[in-house]
Structure 1
């Protein structure tokens, strides 16, 4: 592999961007691939067949013609470029990207981040990953030879990079649109070499936390290892990333809930007996509100008929979650106690996606529990400081532990490896 810079390095690149006007641009953007279900994918493509979801979640319709869905995405991307839907910017840039919903604003820098081993303590993951999503994203990156959507990094800011983000002027924006969800997106390009050098120097002594995109970052590193061996150093030694100063534009962290498939609430409560307190509550909202006032581990179990709060009043679950030589802060998190102790020991359920699913909202969790004859497990969000503490100590939270919002839109800025000349874009 190539030798990376000493610290955090976010490099300018020539972005591939839509050439359409503001009204259509909003119809071309979509959320990241891992929060889009089949119904939303269909709705996005019905609104505009060129929506970026066709690239990041390609169809398998081309298999009848001998192309897998990743080749379909590569073909669609090439065809869209040929007909002028996308064009590559003339000059390398770091891009200031802003999202606002009218109440809160997030703004950061999009660039090509130098990939680092977690042991370097520069880019810090905080969640475990699963092999399936990494294999899926790797096949897509190989077929398209590109990064189609950015990962989301946060860091403690202040300094030249933060100043650059704060000082852009509205009239200088190179793209602006509002998506159907009501979020306004704006983009600026920073191209002055001296300005970019100052930003680079500011970031070099810093480190960043992966807020969103653990599987894509793991994919970046797998592709780097594969192609550095086959081809030598190249643009794959970097990956598309949005870097946000959490001290100025800190994201919100939400819980990702669980669904125990095929086991109803009464059966789970029977298995939980003797481990912790169980408190009947009126509904999931009341349960989560009470959980927020509870010290130690707390989680809400719910189905269509009942809602029960689990409270680890005597720390029996938490004590069983401590691993010898492990990160102490990790054992204190609700999601760790759930997976280490409740799922595997107390409930005796295999800890895989077939038995313990994921839901990004209470409504989704309850609906999936009803569909599968199971139970929704509703969690409190993990505080950002706790996530950062676990990552800094080298710990890994269970997969799908945190939901950072707002998420950067896919389709606004893409990165083609062919658009970066020379090894690693130099």
Structure 2
């Protein structure tokens, strides 16, 4: 068990292959020192649409968390140094403060008829993590290196990964029971962000309740719903630091999708240097292309209907919507790797990357060429403004993602977007505590 007095997760002899979630002393904004909690939060770093969203968040409050997760400076080294300096200043000035005792945190998001609750804690990383936490997407090493430099400079986990697990079918069990009990208490904080989501956070500090949650989670494995690059960063930094060390744990949010099913959305592509007209011309003889009526919602509905019959994409950026479907079977056979499961070969993301980007359009997967954007309308707007091509996708079902992950098969990166994602800035983990 952890030393509750130190607040630092301690090594133990636990050999169970499961989710070992430890309490920690959360670092949180002091409400009296900021304009509002909503104004200092941010989406996860890779969801922020740049530069528009970045500027919007920076102007929302001088202490917005985006200044830590996406620091702006002339070089990578200067950026990480700026984040470290900013974090240190906010701590010394009392803008951020650590909770007095270690605990786990129950976190709730509520929007309309959708309610999601989970537990935030410091997840133990080990050699066995590969079989306990299941990734389903590839990562890019430069992004991992960037996140690693930021974590090292700040000595902190600035935002939790989103992990899902499958709890008991009856909805009972230790974690579920504690969450229900805790959510009846007065929360540490309540705020509603500009997207209309209400966020509430509670601390769990009673040893009995912490033990109940930890014992229950040790029976489960998790799927990475959001944060593949940060997960790879956690593992890299753990390997780089002799154990025991604070890097043996990483900040996560665990959500039981039996009780709280996540929404699964697609992540769209913006091809900066490929005009729509050129993209459509290259498709001739390879795919069927039809113009479908708007507005965007109606065009996306047409895309959804087309994906029920096979691979399909929606191209736009020129003021019209072009539905692309019925790929040439011979082209698929020549370009899609045949050494993967059928479920992987049939993914829209697989066909997009292996067939369209690599062979038909010849677009390298680099930040200069491709932007990955979660918001559909924002993708279209940027394509129309910049003269590029927006490639809109239909989401993959969670069961397909989990099936492939359990087989150890990774999907093309940025294939899915699970949500709602945790707001960044509600609770941080300082590795020095």
Q: Which one of the candidate residues 354, 376, 383 is aligned to 1:362? A: 376
Distance in 1 separating the partners of 2:30 and 2:326: 55
SS in 2 for 1:140: helix
Shift of 1:119: 7.4
Bigger Cα displacement from structure 2, 218-227 vs 269-278? 269-278
Bigger Cα displacement from structure 2, 313-322 vs 249-258? 313-322
Q: TM-score, normalised by structure 2?
A: 0.88
Confirm or deny: 8 A CA contact 1:123 1:209 kept in the other structure: yes
Deviation string for 1:147-184 (max 9, x for gaps)? 01101001111321122222224433122222233221
Distance in 2 separating the partners of 1:18 and 1:379: 37
Q: Which one of the candidate residues 61, 65, 68 is aligned to 1:55? A: 68
1:91 aligns with 2:101: yes
Distance in 2 separating the partners of 1:88 and 1:203: 25
Confirm or deny: 8 A CA contact 1:99 1:106 kept in the other structure: yes
1:104 aligns with 2:114: yes
Shift of 1:33: 1.2
Shift of 1:195: 2.1
Distance in 1 separating the partners of 2:116 and 2:66: 23
Distance in 2 separating the partners of 1:11 and 1:189: 13
Shift of 1:140: 0.9
User: Runs of 5+ in structure 2 lacking a partner?
Assistant: 1-10
Bigger Cα displacement from structure 2, 233-242 vs 32-41? 32-41
Q: Which residue number corresponds to residue 44 of structure 1?
A: 57
Distance in 2 separating the partners of 1:372 and 1:117: 45
1:236 aligns with 2:247: yes
Q: Which one of the candidate residues 289, 306, 310 is aligned to 1:278? A: 289
Q: Which residue number corresponds to residue 25 of structure 1?
A: 37
SS in 2 for 1:323: coil
SS in 1 for 2:220: coil
Q: Which residue number corresponds to residue 130 of structure 1?
A: 140
Q: Which residue number corresponds to residue 214 of structure 2?
A: 200
Confirm or deny: 8 A CA contact 1:14 1:91 kept in the other structure: yes
Q: Flag the 1:54–1:357 CA change in 2: closer, same or farther, 3 A.
A: closer
Q: Which one of the candidate residues 397, 401, 404 is aligned to 2:415? A: 401
Q: Flag the 1:134–1:157 CA change in 2: closer, same or farther, 3 A.
A: same
Shift of 1:240: 0.2
Q: Which residue number corresponds to residue 233 of structure 2?
A: 219
Distance in 1 separating the partners of 2:129 and 2:62: 43
Bigger Cα displacement from structure 2, 385-394 vs 307-316? 307-316
Q: Which residue number corresponds to residue 153 of structure 1?
A: 163
Confirm or deny: 8 A CA contact 2:19 2:218 kept in the other structure: yes
Q: Flag the 1:202–1:258 CA change in 2: closer, same or farther, 3 A.
A: same
Distance in 2 separating the partners of 1:4 and 1:334: 41
Distance in 1 separating the partners of 2:279 and 2:53: 32
Q: Which residue number corresponds to residue 9 of structure 1?
A: 20
Deviation string for 1:360-385 (max 9, x for gaps)? 23332223333443322111011111
Q: Which residue number corresponds to residue 166 of structure 1?
A: 180
Bigger Cα displacement from structure 2, 123-132 vs 2-11? 2-11
Confirm or deny: 8 A CA contact 1:176 1:186 kept in the other structure: yes
Of Structure 1 and Structure 2, the greater helix share is in: 1
Q: Which one of the candidate residues 243, 267, 271 is aligned to 1:260? A: 271
User: Runs of 5+ in structure 1 lacking a partner?
Assistant: 420-426
